[in-house]
Amino acid sequence: MRNESASIDLRLWRQFVAVAEELHFGRAAIRLHMTQPPLTQAIAHLERLLEVRLFDRSKRSVALTPTGLALLPEAIDLLTRAEALPVHARAAAAGEVGRLRLAFVSTAGYSLLPPWVRAFRERYPAVQLDLLEATGDRQLQALAQGEIDAGLMLHSPGFSPPGLARRLIAREPLLLALPEHHALAAASALALEQVLDEPLVMFPRRSLPSLYDAILGIYQAQAHTPQVAQEAIQMQTIVNLVSAGLGVAWVPESVRQFQRQGVAYRSVAFKRGRQAPVCETSLVWREGHASPALGRFSEFAPEPAA
């Protein structure tokens, strides 16, 4: 096939389909709002480009060749898809079709994300939603490299990495998770002074640096150095290690949804004038790179509690 075949435009395919469906050059020309001679020349040109014969012609009849018959449904499909492109383009610009790559921390997967995703998919089924569970450090790396469009990140108040835009989704207190049979678990609430010397199960700073520093600040404000007995990345793992008796852990209130047996969750009272620690979950994306699909997705975001 000659290289000119790559330049075949849609007009030639429309002309081919019209003749193939009418099997009459005169009727096909009327359908296309043109005269017959240019149409005859166009079909001959198409056959030269393809180096195949599409029609058997005689003075009285026109018939598709086996090659033309095989090509007809493909040409119809091509024209149908081409006609749909403007509609598809407008839908993509409106965020109603396309793809959204979203990373999320495990705590968002307990109760925050499922109803949000369900409502979005019911309203915009043509948007492909790719979900990836990832820690905060991995999300920041993936955002920088363009591997994801947005992330749901856990952090302390005031978190604002350069080059990123964010929308606050949820704010919740930190609770202390401790083994169910721990002596302190008998109390409904604890004073901070009671827990300062307890060994900690903690996530590494690299995975949630702002929240790590906030928890560390609790101890530093009391002139204490926390005793980190074990590190783990995932909140589920941290809670499992607490259940095993390796220590206590500061966790977001939403971790209660994990429902791990052998673990009790208690609020911790701070001295008057000292605010109890909270954590936040935000939808984060690269500044200036919010896709239309992300805009639609954010419409379904829950409003953070006051």
Question: For residue range 162-182, what is the model confidence (pLDDT) as tens digits?
Answer: 899 999 999 999 999 999 999
Q: Give me the amino acid identity at 289.
A: H
Model pLDDT, residue 1: 44
Model pLDDT, residue 4: 53
Model pLDDT, residue 168: 93
CATH architecture of 98-169+280-298: 3-Layer(aba) Sandwich (3.40)
Same fold, 98-169+280-298 and 172-277: yes
Can you give the residue ranges of every domain in the chain?
3-93, 98-169+280-298, 172-277
Question: For residue range 228-259, what is the model confidence (pLDDT) as tens digits?
Answer: 999 999 899 999 999 999 999 999 998 988 87
Report CA-CA distances (Å) from 80 to 5, 172, 289: 20, 51, 32
Model pLDDT, residue 169: 93
- Cβ-in-10-Å burial (0-12, 13-18, 19+) of 197 comes to exposed
Global pTM?
0.71
Q: How far apart are the first and last CA of the chain?
A: 68
Local mean pLDDT, 10-residue blocks, the chain (306 residues): 62 93 93 93 93 90 93 92 80 78 91 92 92 93 95 91 91 94 91 94 92 92 92 92 95 87 92 78 92 90 73
Check whether domain 3-93 has CATH 1.10.1520.10, yes or no: no
Model pLDDT, residue 259: 79
Q: What is the DSSP string of 88-101?
A: HHHHHHTTSSEEEE
CATH number for region 172-277: 3.40.190.10
